[in-house]
Structure 1
Amino acid sequence: MVPMKRLTRRGLLACGLLGATAVHGAERTVLQLAAFPLVDEIARAALPVWRQMHPGVDIQIVSRQYADHHTAMTTALSTSSLLPDVMALESSFVGRFAQGGGLEDLAQPRYDIGRFRSRLVPYAYDQALGRNGAVVAVPTDIGPGTMLYRQDIVARAGVDPEDLTRSWASYIAAGQLIKRSTGAYLIAHVSEIKDILLRTGIQPGEGMYFDQDSRVLVQSERFVRAFELALQVRRLGLDARVNAWSNEWAEGFKRGSLATELGGAWLVGQLSNWVAQQTAGLWRAAQLPEGANAGYGGAFYAMPRRAAPERKALAWQFIQLMTLDRERQLAAFKTHDAFPALLETHDDAFFEEPVAFLGGQKARLLWRVAARRISAARVHKQNGFADEVVGSELDQVLKRGKPIRTALQDAARLLERRAHR
């Protein structure tokens, strides 16, 4: 392991990056971090270590709910006002902001993030790469994709758990048997299947919706298959037609009316801590069907390009503490289920410990394998709009019987108008 270097105040001054207030003691330096729930708690837990490193520097954590936080960061970057020194970002926003030029390029010599590349999960590092080679953020945690299934429901239906993952066809066939035998739905909503299939088979240089030259990809066979399988599951009555994070979704887990869920490994923590605590021991984890590999979110740290220059060296030190320090990464994993992006944590014995909520299964070993297999897709500045357009067209297919290829053709037409904006 390459240890994180701690710069002295003299070294920071030599780099021209530390304000004089921290040196002469006229007043304490305050570094502001803007974050969202769980990331804020993880950062707060690191403050005693930070104070040992920098006794004269306080960290002010400004926390907002997830949507409010990212809206505030979007506004701050576009107006260059009320900028924090460090901002936490969810992975999808990193990709969008990478194209805008509002974030500091950490590939610059004074940061040289490239020297740490081999220490980070490859796909997570690549998510922060801009088209011009800039690296705008450092990953702190990731969400390897996994299938969670209720082993009691599966057993009652006489389904072999391997049938859930062998192929999408066997997954759907197992769902029919589960529904017929137990009345439980296979999945909450078919959009979960669509989302995985859209992330499967992306070619090098492509994004989910656009290629590197902003050509629209939504009429490809990847999209056709995703829509076809989603429609098949809906017609068979295998999804509960409830959206993730809704009250109905949570009730489905509590009542045992949902047999499987496709999502990030962090979902185990959500289920065990608040969504469905009473179902502890009934769930198991597996890889996604048909060998699919998908990442579900993850948190990054970034610095606004126009933030106070005199505090940027300290901001970079804080980011390194949160992303490149083995103990900090493991602490976040053990207390908040934040799967670490730092590879040198992956040999820790904690990965081999049984997960009580999963009936003692050593599921973290599965997720570690998945993390290495995921590849990053290029993120286009219009990805958010594309998500809405494709989701809307899927609704037209599911609810109104719109032909799949017509729906994708209409989606492509809309996206082509926005591709180069």
Structure 2
Amino acid sequence: MQGTNQWRGKFGPLITTTCALAGLVLWLSLSLCSAAYATQASPALTVAAFPAMDEIVRAAIPAWKKIHPDIDVNVVSLQIADHHSAMTTALLTGSHLPDVMALEFGYLGRFAQGGGLEDLAAPQYGMRNYQALYVPYAIAQATSKTGTIAAAPSDIGPGTLLYRADLLARAHVTEAELNGSWDSFVEAGIKIKKATGAYLVSHVQDVTDTMIRVGCKPGEGLYFDAQSHVLVKSARFVRAFQIAKKVRDNHLDAKMTHWSTEWTESFKRGTLATQLSGSWLAGHLGNWMAPNTAGLWRAAQLPEHSWAGFGGTFYAIPKNIPEQQKQNAWKLIQFLTQNPQIQLASFKEQNAFPALLSTYNDPFFDEPIPFLGGQKARLIWREAAGHIQAISVHKQDKFAEEVINTELDKVLDQGKDINAALDDAYRLLEKRAFR
């Protein structure tokens, strides 16, 4: 679910705000939280979230109240980047903390290793007793090298290749050509561009962001291994840069920023043939981004069966809140992440692909998706979810992402040698790895 990783905004467009406005919104929101503590006779819980996690929690409150009528739940929401900035500040200062904190995967590393979150593997939570309930890689992503579990997974983003079937037909390109290999993906793009004028991808970073997620060894992250050694000179980065350069050299990427007006318009106008993304994007396309293109899109596995995850959301508990609130917060997290009805409702209403394995045999997965021409695409995404390997998180992941994207730009725009670019990225990350 986003150069920064374009999928950070998986639940909707990021809204850029000034520091002053973000600060005002945050102050007002946290003031409301404080007021809730002061006025509620019952031990109300405050959940800090972002779109559409806020809607997921709000929708679950009526069912929660049937089980826990004495525990109210208040939801405070900011846009995704502002939310994570606010939570960073709250953890650092120990003030205005929520009881439950929603975290997006891209930000999980810095929070998990910051020391401000409860270890859900501790006896009072016993998360290890429940880990078999979830998709294995999701739990592993929230587990540190010392065995602590910083958060419980709510949803995941199985990677998929969404493509315009009508454009492929006009170019006489088959799905097998499109996703057989990364090289055939580029060759198919050349045919599509020649026949239709449509770009293959919105930006070459779509390709690199996907390819670097494949081939990590157990215990490794995207950019660092378990001992914080830098990995960016490995074969997966070299090949990702090579394929990205091939895409750019053939003018197959539109150089568009995700969630921009230009990007959303490209879906409506048929000027973009494919999108590498999490499965959630299909819902966005059908619901609000390009509903006029219903029936023209299909879903497939990523090229070379590159099993990769795009995003995912977790719930965590801050350390510096009252003990009673911690226990109630844990009850709420269990309710949101271990209740099949709640997980399925989130999937149906918000396209939040469940992390809870017991939902995977629900008939909803077998239902055809009209927007995808009646394709039973949820079965494709379920298969992908079963193959995705865990990627360890590191507190410097976001900085590393920026460094890699900067070096990729130098390769594509300035002709910098790929190995030289990765060498420079390596040296810079080596200085930050152990901070």
Return the TM-score normalized by structure 1. Answer: 0.93
> Aligned to 2:206, what secondary structure does the other structure show?
helix
Q: Which residue of 2 aligns with 1:273?
A: 287
Pairwise CA RMSD: 1.1
8 Å CA contact 2:159, 2:307 repeated in 1: yes
Q: Which residue of 1 aligns with 2:56?
A: 42
Q: CA deviation at 1:117?
A: 0.8
Counterparts of residues 9-48 of structure 1 (less than 5 Å)? 27-48=41-62
Q: Structure 2 counterpart of 1:130, which letter?
A: S
Counterparts of residues 20-419 of structure 1 (less than 5 Å)? 27-419=41-433
The aligned length equals 397
Q: Structure 1 counterpart of 2:58, which letter?
A: R
Tell me the distance in 1 between the aligned counterparts of 2:334 and 2:204.
39
Q: CA deviation at 1:26?
A: 9.1
Tell me the distance in 2 between the aligned counterparts of 1:178 and 1:53.
55
Identity %: 57
> Aligned to 1:205, what secondary structure does the other structure show?
coil
8 Å CA contact 1:99, 1:131 repeated in 2: no
Q: Mark the structure with the bigger radius of gyration.
A: 1
Tell me the distance in 2 between the aligned counterparts of 1:57 and 1:206.
40
8 Å CA contact 2:109, 2:396 repeated in 1: no
Tell me the distance in 2 between the aligned counterparts of 1:26 and 1:259.
53
Tell me the distance in 2 between the aligned counterparts of 1:380 and 1:302.
17
Flag structure 2 segments of 5+ consecutive residues without an equivalent: 1-38
CA offsets, 1:4-55, max 9 Å, x none?
Answer: xxxxxxxxxxxxxxxxxxxxx9922211010101111111111111111111
Q: Which residue of 2 aligns with 1:8?
A: none
Flag structure 1 segments of 5+ consecutive residues without an equivalent: 1-24
> Aligned to 1:46, what secondary structure does the other structure show?
helix
> Aligned to 1:142, what secondary structure does the other structure show?
strand
> Aligned to 1:360, what secondary structure does the other structure show?
coil
8 Å CA contact 1:106, 1:112 repeated in 2: yes
Q: CA deviation at 1:310?
A: 2.0
> Aligned to 1:140, what secondary structure does the other structure show?
strand
8 Å CA contact 1:272, 1:357 repeated in 2: yes
Q: CA deviation at 1:411?
A: 0.6
8 Å CA contact 2:212, 2:236 repeated in 1: yes
**Gap change, CA 1:38 and 1:26, over 3 Å in 2:** closer
> Aligned to 2:41, what secondary structure does the other structure show?
coil
Tell me the distance in 2 between the aligned counterparts of 1:110 and 1:168.
47
Tell me the distance in 2 between the aligned counterparts of 1:31 and 1:207.
34
Return the TM-score normalized by structure 2. Answer: 0.90
Tell me the distance in 2 between the aligned counterparts of 1:122 and 1:259.
33
8 Å CA contact 2:218, 2:390 repeated in 1: no
